[in-house]
Amino acid sequence: MVGSMQGHSLVQRQQQRTIPVQIQANAILNMSSLELQQFVETEAMENPALCLDDTSRCPICGFATAAPTCPVCSASLAARTQIESNDYDERNYLQRAFAAAVGDELFDPFRTIARSMDVTDYLKGQARMVLGGRKLRIAEYLIESLDDGYFRESLFDTAEEFATAVPEIEAVLNVLQSFDPPGIAARDLRESLLIQIRHIRSNEAAAAIAERILEDYWVEFSKMRLKSIAGKMEVSYNVVVEACEFIRDRLTPHPASAYRAPFEELSPRESSAVIPDVIIQASGDGFVAEAVDCYGSYLKVDETYEECYQSVKSGESYLGEEDRKHIREHVERVRCILDAISMRKKTLTRVAAFLADYQEDFLLHGASHLKPLRQKDVAKALEVHESTICRALSDKYCRLPSGEVISFEIFFDSALPVRTLIGQIISLSTEPISDSEIAKRLTEQGVTIARRTVAKYRDQLKVLPYQLRAA
């Protein structure tokens, strides 16, 4: 009986294993257009069986595309062909090329490759230095789940996502909490402040009192019952006040805001260009979504390798065992990559088409008309696993019919319509208004939310509190 159960368990484990083809397909689906381009170019250098037609590259910005219009610099194929067909020196060529891309405005080709490092990239870089394998994948997932620097998700749900126990997730989270900036990846404000104060390691007496207050008297501190804290700690009221001032002046409730990009003061203020992965265009009464086809249309197996591969499969090859193995491995890897790129394009197009149809009012009328939507809802509608939707939209951008390039995350931001309304109410008010008044006006428009929720969304809009705006 025991032997039968063990055999059944072994069969289950074998069936649940992911084959290399699926791993490759998932990895490519998770890549952005720029990451895919870099992956293919690296593969072309390492795999002689991969044939890359490098002529289909935009001569203006260098992005690999065969599309009529470059998705990065917007130069038309006709303009590029006209430029290439004439004999210009390098200076005139660049001037005409940039003019074709952006009119009279000077086009900076380095905008397409320059990329500032945000706090997510910074944390992932630290994770790669101390973690690897499964723990690194968990760490990257936790980092991408951070909200204003806090990890607010359920440890149990995260453990289920990776088919592991909660202690493993918690151990990785503890590693993240040791990263810079201090206080990052905390589960609540109290934990973040404690991490920060322990990171400072100040010898000031106020620091020790402050840590003890946060550790043992959080409820009283959150209600600013300073006299009660002083009585329980058997210290003077002024000592408690100094400790609270230490917390106010030296710690921050927004740990992610403490991050500063390297050489930020030397960086250009203009943001780098974002390459869209999907382009949504108006068509008749609706919208059409199409994935940006980088490399998919002009990658193929090298002809010589293909001929050798067919002869090896038919058993007519006179090559040695090592050569036959070399040909099989390289050709089959290329075919695996081509299938994965094709599947990536189909999946992206399908998901984007659903979003464009579901969020049609958002595309037509703006952020206030965004409908609530979750990735699991998209997965259910398209009859795919939720992880497929997560990979398809991770770090991906789409170009709207208006020409604006946005992150796919916006399609799932349920708070965006309310934040937009709050921003409109504040901007249209002739005098500073309180959060309570904003909540009252939202109720008049059919949106009922609490005052503290208004304060949260106002803070996300980077708008000062009423008292400071009225001062």
Q: What is the mean pLDDT of residues 149-169?
A: 87
pLDDT at 294: 64
Lowest-pLDDT range, 225-234, 271-280, 347-356, 377-386? 271-280
pLDDT at 85: 52
What is the widest separation between alpha-carbon atoms in the chain? 93
**Cβ–Cβ under 8 Å, residues 136 and 127:** yes
278 in helix, strand or coil? strand
Residue in the block written with tokens 């984007």: 352
Alpha helices in 279-320 (DSSP H): 303-314
73: its two tokens: 């610099």
Q: What is the mean pLDDT of residues 15-30?
A: 70
pLDDT at 269: 46
Q: What percent of the chain has pLDDT over 90?
A: 5
pLDDT at 457: 79
Q: What is the mean pLDDT of residues 444-457?
A: 81
b/e sequence 278-293, b meaning 16+ C-beta within 10 Å: bbbeeeeeebebebbb
Regarding predicted confidence, which is higher, 16 or 158? 158
Bridge-partner residues for 291, per DSSP? 278
Q: What is the mean pLDDT of residues 101-125?
A: 61
CATH of 416-470, one of 1.10.10, 3.30.160, 1.20.120, 2.60.40: 1.10.10
Would you list the domain boundaries of the chain? Answer: 189-258, 278-412, 416-470
**Cβ–Cβ under 8 Å, residues 169 and 155:** yes
pLDDT at 451: 80
pLDDT band at 353; cut points 50, 70, 90: very high
Interatomic CA distance for residues 420 and 413, integer angstroms: 11
Bridge-partner residues for 52, per DSSP? 299
pLDDT at 10: 42
Q: Which amino acid is at 258?
A: A
Regarding predicted confidence, which is higher, 77 or 141? 141
85: its two tokens: 């067909």
Kindly report, residue by residue over 289-314, the tens digit of the pLDDT: 888 876 656 788 888 888 888 888 88
Kindly report, residue by residue over 138-153, the tens digit of the pLDDT: 999 899 888 888 888 8
Across the chain, mean pLDDT equals 78
Residue in the block written with tokens 């008044």: 437
Lowest-pLDDT range, 22-36, 96-110, 249-263? 96-110
Q: What is the mean pLDDT of residues 33-46?
A: 84
pTM of the model: 0.54
Handedness of CA 355, 359, 363, 366 (dihedral sign): negative
Write the CA distances from 214 to 224, 254, 274, 417, integer angstroms. 12, 16, 42, 36
Q: Is the pLDDT of residue 39 over 70?
A: yes
pLDDT at 110: 47
Kindly report, residue by residue over 227-276, the tens digit of the pLDDT: 888 888 888 889 888 888 888 888 888 888 777 765 454 444 444 557 78
CA proximity to 214, closest of 240, 238, 237, 235: 240
Interatomic CA distance for residues 159 and 364, integer angstroms: 40
Q: Is the pLDDT of residue 322 over 80?
A: yes
Kindly report, residue by residue over 170-181, the tens digit of the pLDDT: 999 999 999 888
Q: Is the pLDDT of residue 99 over 70?
A: no
Kindly report, residue by residue over 407-445, the tens digit of the pLDDT: 888 888 878 888 888 888 888 877 778 888 888 888 888
